Structure 1
């Protein structure tokens, strides 16, 4: 059971989390007409009286862009200011996760995006490791990722996550931790809520944005970090068979951070993961504000 942070931002004010409720007839609940973000925060290890948020600006920009698919004009700076106030109100004392959310809030039965009210809320949860840092097992899902021509995959739209949910449950109920989705062309796409990377011959490889993936912010960070470290990076289609012979495979995401994959189907992967570990150590140092070269990625919020 995850512990919620005490206060939520709901209907333009901060209220106790338990009071931030919606009607069972809410439009978005029935039609998947919502969009969300997710970002991590931690108390500063060097100064517990301030909070560190990783790439706040990018997260707010992406959510603002997602809102456009719902015909909702929500500026990124409005989202950012609300999240900063949310952190100050809650004063978290441990690692946590923030979920900003946009949705069609009217009560109605017609699926639409025009002539309908939209709302924005924010809540948070205490969150440590989302997945085992020692590694996870994956299966190839029988479900396929949607195509951008039929779904706006450049946004984090709630309706898309039925496929993720099906893939995740299928994986867990068949003895695995996570499912890997292929796209409609039969190429590797992503996991249920994470991007995927492989390492072959010292090169870091990940499906490109044309492969119907979500444009992950952690994914973008890893590509930048790897290039800065002199690791050759390639964005291209990835074949299923490449997963089985890769030197290293890992998943990435806000919640998952960098999570190694130790087994795919009945293929055991190497437990020696030099590039994965280098990237994970670097990303941890950056999120803890211990790397001067990436300080612009870390937003500091004083609590006093």
Structure 2
């Protein structure tokens, strides 16, 4: 049961969440012609007068770029302005998640992106831990990640998430928490909605952009933090067998934050995860505005 924030942005105005409804004939509902973002916010632990949003500018830039794949010009600064006002109107009292969404809003049946109306809405919900912070068990999915030559994987296109949905359900219904997808070349790609990192011999290894991964904002944050901490970073193709003998494996994403992996298939990973914990502690401190070196990543909304 989700606790949705009471106010949504819908059809160019702020309305109650309950009244923000679309028609069953909405084009995007039938063809997956939408794109979404997702960012976290928390009440400032130091004062009840402001909300902290993590990397608001990057999230708005990515959604603006995703909208371009839909033939929709939606400037990042407009998205940012609406999200700020959305937070001010809702004044959340606990950790929450914001879901901005762009989509083809016309009523029709022809699959296309030209000569069709687009729109943009924002809603939010209270959200704590998406996955267990104590660690999760993963399986290798029988479903493979799509290729960029068939889908614009640089954007969070809603239709692409049928693969993530199939993989997630397959994992859960077979006794696991999460799925790890391979790409069309059989290399490790990402989880159902998170990027993946492997630690071996003190090195932090992750698939690069040429492996059909999403350009994750939390992923980018982890890489920046790791570099600043002096951890060696390698972006390269990763084989499935590397996961099974890794010193540490963790997933990263806006909802998942940094989530350690305890087991992959029937292979148990070491209980001690020093690099994962170091990165997670640092990221938590940053999102709570407790690290002066990364304050530019935290946008403060006065309420």
TM-score (norm. length: structure 2): 1.00
Aligned to 2:214: 214
> Counterparts of 2:207 and 2:280 in 1: how far apart (Å)?
19
Find the residue that maps to 1:94 and give its secondary structure: coil
1:298, CA displacement in angstroms? 0.2
The DSSP-based 3-state class of the residue aligned with 2:102 is strand
Q: Distance in 1 between matches of 2:210 and 2:58?
A: 20
Listed as ranges, the gaps of 5+ residues in structure 2 are none
Aligned to 1:70: 70
- Structure 2: distance between partners of 1:48 and 1:180: 39
Alignment partner, residue 177 of structure 1: 177
The offset of 1:170, in angstroms, is 0.2
The residue aligned with 1:42 is 42
2:162 partner SS = helix
Q: CA deviation at 1:44?
A: 0.4
Alignment of 1:23-62 (within 5 A): 23-62=23-62
Give the drift of 1:49: 1.6
SS at match of 1:47: coil
Residue matched to 2:168 = 168
Q: Which residue of 2 aligns with 1:103?
A: 103
In the alignment, the residues of structure 1 paired with residue 190 and residue 67 of structure 2 have an alpha-carbon distance, to the nearest angstrom, of 23
**Which secondary structure state, in structure 1, belongs to the residue aligned with residue 181 of structure 2?**
strand
State the partner residue of 2:205.
205
Q: Please give the alpha-carbon distance, in whole angstroms, between the structure 1 residues aligned to 2:272 and 2:180.
A: 22
Q: CA RMSD in A?
A: 0.3
Q: What CA deviation, in whole Å up to 9, does each residue of 1:218-275 have, x standing for no partner?
A: 0000000000000001100000000000000000000000000000000011110000
Give 5+ residue unaligned stretches, structure 1. Answer: none
User: CA–CA distance in 2 between the matches of 1:48 and 1:211?
Assistant: 43
Rounded to whole Å, the distance in 1 between the matches of 2:48 and 2:222 is: 27
The answer on 1:117 being equivalent to 2:126 is no
- Aligned partners of 2:287, 2:7: CA distance in 1, in Å? 24
**Which 4+ residue blocks in structure 1 deviate beyond 6 angstroms?**
none
Q: Deviation at 1:66?
A: 0.1
CA shift for structure 1 position 48: 1.9
1:280 alignment counterpart: 280
Match of 1:246 in 2: 246
Shift of 1:161: 0.1
Q: How does 1:117-156 map to 2 (within 5 A)?
A: 117-156=117-156
Q: Secondary structure of the residue that 1:259 maps to in structure 2? A: strand
2:292 match: 292
> What pairs with 1:226-265 in structure 2 (closer than 5 Å)?
226-265=226-265
Deviations 1:87-133 (A, max 9, x none): 00000000000000000000000000000000000000000001000
Specify the SS of the correspondent of 2:49: strand
